[in-house]
Amino acid sequence: MPTISTADFDDIRKNTLQAHEITALFESVADISGVAEPEDEMDTHTQEGASVNAYGSPLSLWEVKMGHLVQTPPATRSLWSRVKWGVCQAAIEEMGAEGRRPEGVMLDDANPRMSSRVDMEISLDLGATWEPMVAKNVTGSMLDTWRNAVGEWVVPEATILEAQHHMMVRGAQRLHIAAMFSGTTVRRFIVERDEELIAEIAHAGAQFWDRVDTNTRPKATTPGDQKVIARLNAIIDPKEEILDFRGDSTIQQMLAERERIKAEQKALQAQSNALDAELRARMDGFAAALVSDTHQLRWVRTAAQEITYTKHASAHLRTTKIPKKAAGSALDALIEPQP
């Protein structure tokens, strides 16, 4: 049974999944939808202030809900946050319906860690029943995702997931979408309730929150997740769990191949440095030299300047010898002879 939450919205945001976040749990949908942080939502960034996308994968969303990233409201309201009410009103008037602002954030007793906040509620029967409506800003770069193979206007998969999330929480049978295309045209869509997809969303949400509650990191699924992993490993903790790869032939092959490539790179860099030194000697005292009918070799000079910068926290992998107490008791236990 859906109820309106009286909790502080910051707590709701931290302890529930919102509709625009659910796409991050469906990797293929998030990947092809170009999903990004909504214009009127919180800005997500690292402790050092670097902006990151919180909704690109299960791992990136987990990083947010675990509190490893900083979330702050935008300094000023976005243009879309002011325009979307007019977009909804235009759609409502075209339908001949009634509209009202929703009272707040809604939760579902069956899925208490899923929340729904829609832009408007509309009624087609003089207020007897009310149905949710959301507004979407479809920019020129996203137009193709709202068309099918024959050019018809359709709702993309990511938005369908959001719609089903809203209907799951609110107990609604359908959701209305008022979409503004390229800032000029408003089109209306209706998404019907899909019980099978709602079950998948509920299952994905439950699995996600179990990982948060047990501090179990989701697997990396996108190239961007490698940056997340680097951030998560930037903090040195000698009590972290230590893996034993001594009997893993695949890991050993990977490490050997990495060392071979690094050795080749080192040799090539030495050859490049030697050639560069010889060229510098030949060019000493000359501004440029023709090397073909179309190219020249010339000095590029940079004036002295003072540069200041912030070095962000990071982590990388390095193979080293094991010194005494390298990583506390966790590693000591592994290297001790087994009985």
Residue 327 lies in a domain: no
pLDDT at site 310: 58
Query: Beta strand 131-138 with 174-181: parallel, antiparallel or unpaired?
Result: parallel
pLDDT tens-digit series, residues 56-111 = 788 888 888 888 776 666 666 677 778 898 999 999 999 999 999 988 899 988 88
Write out pLDDT tens, residues 262-271.
999 999 999 9
pLDDT score for 122: 95
In a domain, 261, yes or no: no
* Domains contained in the chain, number: 1
Give the model's pLDDT for residue 247. 84
Q: Has residue 101 been placed in a domain?
A: yes
Q: Helices (H), strands (E): how many in the chain?
A: 9, 12
* pLDDT at residue 299, as a whole number: 86
Asked if residue 180 belongs to a domain, the reply is: yes
* Pairwise CA distance, residues 112 & 267, whole Å: 59
Position 49 scores a pLDDT of 52
Q: Which domain holds residue 35?
A: 2-230
The reply to whether 313 falls in a domain is: no
Could you tell me if residue 317 is inside a domain?
no
User: In the predicted model, what is the mean pLDDT of the chain?
Assistant: 81
Assess if residue 223 is contained within a domain: yes
Query: Is the predicted pLDDT of residue 332 greater than 50, yes or no?
Result: no
- Judge whether 82 lies within some domain: yes
What CATH number does residue 44 fall under?
3.90.320.10
53: confidence class by pLDDT, cuts 50, 70, 90: low
Confidence of residue 325 (pLDDT cuts 50, 70, 90): very low
Give residue-wise pLDDT tens across range 132-142: 999 999 988 88
- % of the chain at pLDDT higher than 90: 39
> Residues 68-77: contacts with CB within 8 Å, 24+ apart?
68/231, 68/232, 69/44, 69/45, 70/44, 70/45, 70/46, 71/13, 71/42, 71/43, 71/44, 72/42, 72/43, 72/45, 73/42, 73/43, 74/40, 74/42, 74/43, 77/40
Using the predicted structure, report yes or no on whether residue 177 has a pLDDT greater than 80: yes
